[in-house]
Chains A and B, each alone.
Chain A
Amino acid sequence: MACNSSGCESGGCYGREKDNGCKVVDVKETVRLCVKCKSNEPMTFGDGGSDDGRFCAECFRSNVYGKFRLAVTSHAMITPSDNVLVAFSGGSSSRVALQFVHELQVKALKNYEASRDRSLPVFGVGVAFVDESAAYPSLSGGLSDAVEWIRSTVLSLSPPEKDLHVVPIESVFGSDSVEARDRLVKLLDSVSDETGKEDLLLHLKMLSLQKVASENGYNRLVVGSCTSRLASHVLTATVKGRGYSLSADIQHVDARWKVPIVLPLRDCVWQEITRLCHLDGLKTVELARHPQSGINDLVSSFVALLQEENPSRECTIVRTAAKLTPFYFNKIPETDDSCVPMATQRRLKKFNLKYDGSMTTEAFCPICNSPLNGSDSSEDESDALYDACCSSCRFQILPQEPSSLDHFGSLLPHHMISQVKHHQKFDSQTYLREKIKDCLLLDDEEAV
């Protein structure tokens, strides 16, 4: 419901402000003022956006930052006792996420120093960059420069000081970098589908981020995905048959991982992000991209085309998908309630979030960590890895030849393999529970 309200709110605000803009133009063509504060001159970015020339710099910036702060407080993304790791790729979205988290931290530090009793600590912040050069050798050329730039950027965002973790994507395969790199290359070579390869890399990237976060004591992972990125994800997931698990990926919070993932820029669109980078002089680095030829790129082109046609299309897509039922893990786990500030608790109750309460029945795909549905079960019980995966990963990542499955499984990171064993254990537990159901005493029954 909060996602829905938030989406409707931004959509409604957009519509209303658009009308106001027209009126202002009609009345005073020669003297244009900011639609919001009516005192400053509006900015012009010249990027063809329909709302260009309506807001002044200050109002535009506070609007975008306001969305970020509302998301953070409404979903308890960051609390005073947290230790936050910001995933930073060098792109615009993660750069804005890093900047906003830093500003939040600076404000918290000021409050801490100003308060007499110093009751609320300041949350910690670290930065992680995933080095994908093992998967994309063409990245190696500009990578060292990029890392140096990232290091200096992180240094400039202090005090408070922030650790930078440069994580090779092959680190999930073990500490021996030569063997790990070799294993990664073999794994990618065994995936024939171009889109499957891209998706597998995304999953490995998330695994490596989770690894560095849990090993270094972080309890939150901030991802800079904005509305536009999520709109593309909604369509790519639909196109790959992932309708069931789709809603898990587009909520503000995703706690199915050991370190919960939060998306504070979920309600900001790409155009706002790029404008803010331009406005604040936030520099970004674009690593050489591997040429894409799969479904993910086709969907991105399609969404971009729709966005040109209708500027609110991306918001509509995400708002539509937000009507899907979230999963139980799409909120910060309850054990943190004691540390959650009163204002956040009040706001959470106000939004009255409703989640799927079936906590114990969810099984997850070992490769992509998506919740599995009944339609994902295979009729043929021949291979443990095959059975444990979702139908999408079976098709686009697993090798088609049964004889290659064992070899493929041996190449996967340990974490994914342990998921398969967990899946088997899960199945047997459910089976046993069903068998002895008649003999079980219910808790309330026993009380009587």
Chain B
Amino acid sequence: MEKGEAKSKKPARLCCICNERRPVLKRPKTLQQICRECFYEEEIHQAIVKNRLFKSGERVAIGASGGKDSTVLAYVLSELNRRHSYGLDLFLLSIDEGITGYRDDSLETVKRNELQYGLPLQILSYKDLYGWTMDDIVKMIGLKNNCTFCGVFRRQALDRGAALLKVDKLVTGHNADDIAETVLLNILISLGILSRCTSITTGEDGPIPRCKPFKYTYEKEIVIYPFLLQNLSECIYSPNAYRGFAREFIKDLERLRPRAILDIIKSGEDFRIATTTKMPEQGTCERCGYISSQKWCKACVLLDGLNRGLPKMGIGRARGGGVNGGDHKKETTVKTLESKQCGSLDF
């Protein structure tokens, strides 16, 4: 990439990638002048092919929140699937958290996407899966820590929805800004799961791998994309301070040096975790059978607390007891989960 930049001498009025068509924009990531066709779709296609995200005939669920990331992702994937003959069966998968005023408009957007793109849509709600809506949970626990519940429930809800649809892959709209932010938050708090969150495909050893085709795509470029549908909901319950700090910092960085976001991702990929650092082994939950590194998965622990009227159970170090290792480990898990705000990330 650096060599490409070095050789770029701003050819007069020609796209610097294909050298055929007239450029229509200067892209934020590299400040190159490129045409509409080269912008975006071709790069996503290269990311998909280069990383071998899909195989022909696979059933793929798109995590659709109604936000700009997943909306553009749904369009681009269906378009590339048609144009390049990936041979994929695509589905839209939405999670309804049950937050008044927040998810309603988003779900309307997803339903419009279903009609526009001709993709089957499956909506799952927390109420159906767990018996609790986020509104109910907030009444029980208050504004603090509620996003821990939402983050845990949502992640498992996606897995459950994917299993219900019998898909082979689950695709989320995490973009470069999101992943860079995650790398930074892991440094600020803990490195425990860093090796798992920077890969373009995670959970390959699990039942349903997750793919992030937008991993190298800047958020600003998604906004620029001409098919953007305006829907910028933010969670009304959880303005997350640390998320805000890191996000603002990334925006400042991008202003100073656009390529810094890719550099952060590169750093995240290059980190070598000491082998002596214990990574939790993945197994299955005794209660619900889904993936878990503990006897009970986090969702079941939180759900049990809710149902017993003890919502604080499973949060913080309440259950750690006197074991320092246990305390540290649990604290790590909780903080990492808390980092994943339900509002700003689409999934």
Contact = CB atoms under 8 A, between A and B. Distances in A.
Interface of A: 1, 8, 12, 193, 195, 234-235, 237-244, 246-247, 294-295, 298, 302, 305-306, 309, 313, 316-317, 320-321, 323-326, 354, 356, 373, 375, 378-380, 382, 386, 391-392, 394-395, 400-402
A264 B262 CA distance: 34
Contacts of B315: none
Interface string B257-288: 10110111011111111111100000000000
B252 A235 contact: no
A237 B2 contact: no
15 contacts: A240-B263, A241-B262, A241-B267, A243-B269, A244-B271, A246-B267, A298-B252, A306-B245, A320-B190, A321-B187, A354-B276, A375-B269, A375-B270, A386-B3, A392-B263
Interface residues of B, number: 39
Contacts of B269: 243, 375
Given A240-B260, A309-B241, A317 B187 contact: yes
B2 A378 contact: yes
B333 to A, nearest CB: 15
B270 A243 contact: yes
A302 B248 CA distance: 10
A244 B256 contact: no
A295 B253 CA distance: 7
Minimum-distance CB pairs A-B, first 5:
A243-B267, A241-B263, A243-B270, A244-B270, A241-B266
Interface of B: 2-3, 5-7, 183-184, 186-191, 241, 245, 249, 252-253, 256-257, 259-260, 262-264, 266-277, 324, 328
Contacts of B264: 238-239, 241
Most chain A beta carbons < 10 A, residue from B6, B7, B259? B6
B54 to A, nearest CB: 24
Nearest to A237: B267
Contacts of A386: 3
Given A238-B183, A306-B245, A354-B274, A378 B3 contact: yes
B188 A244 contact: no
A302 B191 contact: no
Given A241-B264, A324-B273, A375-B270, A295 B257 contact: yes
Given A243-B266, A302-B252, 7 more contacts: A239-B263, A244-B272, A323-B277, A324-B274, A375-B266, A395-B259, A402-B6
Given A240-B263, A241-B267, A247-B272, A305 B190 contact: no
B267 A323 contact: no
A400 B6 contact: yes
Contact of A234 (B187, B260, B263, B274): B187
